[in-house]
């Protein structure tokens, strides 16, 4: 949110978080969603540790980061602030195959897996004393040629292969549709992702356990995502302000 206020960033974050939580609550009422099934992932990429600490102190638990080196530094710094509750870290950026180890070691969730190669590396490199890494498969839902993500028609095959991997647990699907300003246009790809999830469940049935998550919706389209079944909203700007 573009705020030209004289408040300190911590006060901004408090007001912003309240607004976002209220927006989620109202959208849940409007579209008949159970608010307990819609979780807020605060996307803190490029934002300083002080802002993350403020959000944690305000009860925010889940944080999403895109840039690995920056994220690892922040995770370490937050860990050293003994007074803060422990947040849960989600990796939501592009994954290079030579960078999978620190992701497997330092994150609880990964939203951007789109190949067997990456999934297998994450599984192999997940430390054995940790629970399986929760992963979501990123789907190129509106088939944009340059966009990352698995193609919908290749999803089932990828899922069958990934289900065999012991170090990860397949939890659902994620998408970043092309930005659209109209509500109905925003809804269409989110509906498509939800339908695809149901299709996967129908096809793979009992092989799937805990495959119940849809990561979709950002600052500009969170209401449409809630309308279509989002369980993770990935919100950056509305909480932490514009990024440079």
Ligand X SMILES: *Cc1c(COP(=O)(O)O)cnc(C)c1O
The contact set with ligand X (CB under 6 A) reads 43, 45, 66, 92, 176, 218-220, 234-238
Return the number of the residue (110 or 127) whose C-beta is nearest ligand X.
Answer: 110
Please state the closest distance from residue 191 (CB atom) to ligand X, in A: 19
Return the number of the residue (147 or 201) whose C-beta is nearest ligand X.
Answer: 147
DSSP 134-164: EEEEEB-TT--TT--SB-GGGHHHHHHHHTT
Return the number of the residue (168 or 230) whose C-beta is nearest ligand X.
Answer: 230
Nearest residue to ligand X on Cβ basis: 236
Please state the closest distance from residue 176 (CB atom) to ligand X, in A: 5
Return the number of the residue (194 or 221) whose C-beta is nearest ligand X.
Answer: 221
Please state the closest distance from residue 112 (CB atom) to ligand X, in A: 7
What CA–CA distance (Å, rounded) separates 168 from 123? 5
What CA–CA distance (Å, rounded) separates 188 from 204? 24
* Residue 110 near residue 135 (C-beta atoms within 8 A): yes
Coil, strand or helix at 174: strand
Please state the closest distance from residue 222 (CB atom) to ligand X, in A: 8
Comparing CA positions, the residue from 89, 86, 54 lying closest to residue 68 is: 89
Return the number of the residue (31 or 67) whose C-beta is nearest ligand X.
Answer: 67
Please state the closest distance from residue 220 (CB atom) to ligand X, in A: 6
Please state the closest distance from residue 97 (CB atom) to ligand X, in A: 19
Return the number of the residue (61 or 201) whose C-beta is nearest ligand X.
Answer: 61
Please state the closest distance from residue 66 (CB atom) to ligand X, in A: 5
Return the number of the residue (148 or 164) whose C-beta is nearest ligand X.
Answer: 148
DSSP for residue 181: S
CA distances (Å), origin 147, targets 188, 212, 229: 17, 24, 23
Say which residues have a Cβ less than 8 Å from residue 235's Cβ, sequence separation at least 6.
20, 40, 41, 42, 43, 217, 218, 219, 222
Dihedral angle sign, alpha carbons of residues 217, 17, 57, 74:
positive
* Residue 114 near residue 150 (C-beta atoms within 8 A): yes
Coil, strand or helix at 109: strand
DSSP for residue 182: S
What CA–CA distance (Å, rounded) separates 239 from 51? 10
């Amino acid at each position: 949110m573009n705020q030209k206020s004289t408040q300190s960033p911590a006060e901004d974050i408090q007001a912003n978080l309240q607004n976002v939580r209220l927006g989620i609550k109202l959208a849940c009422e409007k579209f008949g969603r159970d608010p307990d099934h819609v979780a807020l992932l605060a996307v803190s990429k490029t934002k300083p540790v002080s802002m993350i600490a403020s959000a944690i102190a305000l009860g925010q638990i889940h944080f999403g980061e895109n840039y690995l080196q920056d994220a690892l530094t922040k995770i370490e710094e937050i860990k050293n602030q003994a007074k803060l509750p422990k947040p849960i870290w989600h990796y939501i950026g592009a994954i290079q195959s030579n960078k999978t180890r620190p992701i497997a070691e330092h994150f609880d969730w990964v939203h951007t897996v789109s190949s067997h190669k990456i999934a297998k590396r994450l599984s192999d490199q997940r430390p054995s004393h940790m629970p399986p890494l929760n992963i979501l498969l990123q789907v190129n839902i509106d088939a944009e040629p340059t966009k990352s993500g698995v193609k919908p028609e290749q999803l089932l095959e990828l899922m069958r292969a990934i289900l065999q991997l012991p170090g990860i647990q397949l939890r659902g699907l994620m998408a970043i549709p092309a930005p659209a300003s109209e509500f109905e246009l925003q809804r269409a790809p989110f509906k498509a992702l939800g339908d695809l999830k149901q299709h996967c469940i129908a096809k793979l049935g009992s092989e799937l356990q805990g495959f119940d998550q849809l990561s979709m919706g950002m600052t500009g389209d969170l209401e449409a995502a809630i309308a279509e079944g989002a369980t993770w909203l990935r919100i950056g700007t509305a909480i932490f302000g514009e990024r440079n």
